[in-house]
Amino acid sequence: MKFGFEDLNVWNKAVDFAVEVIELVESISTDRRHYRLLEQVEASSASISMNVAEGKGHSKRISLRNNDFT
């Protein structure tokens, strides 16, 4: 089963971006004190696609709600 957000070009680009960022971060050799910063970079890049998917779900619910009252 495919979700509606998987057809969105912006969602696919966000997933590709997150993969690139995570691969880049994993290739960085740094001391321990920067580890948390790199975790944040990974998490924020991954959250873009999650926010797009969540927004797609909200717009569907709003659309359904509007159709119920029209």
How many C-beta atoms surround the C-beta of residue 14 within 10 A?
A: 21
Q: What confidence score (pLDDT) does residue 69 get?
A: 45
- Per-domain boundaries in the chain: 4-68
Task: Give dist(CA 58, CA 66) in Å, integer.
Answer: 12
Contacts of 56 by beta carbon, 8 Å cutoff, 6+ apart: 4, 5, 8, 11
Q: What confidence score (pLDDT) does residue 67 get?
A: 55
Q: What confidence score (pLDDT) does residue 55 get?
A: 86
- Could you read off the pLDDT of 12-65 as tens digits, one per residue? 999 999 999 999 999 988 878 888 899 999 999 999 999 999 888 765 555 555
Does pTM top 0.95 for this prediction? no
Task: Give dist(CA 51, CA 46) in Å, integer.
Answer: 9
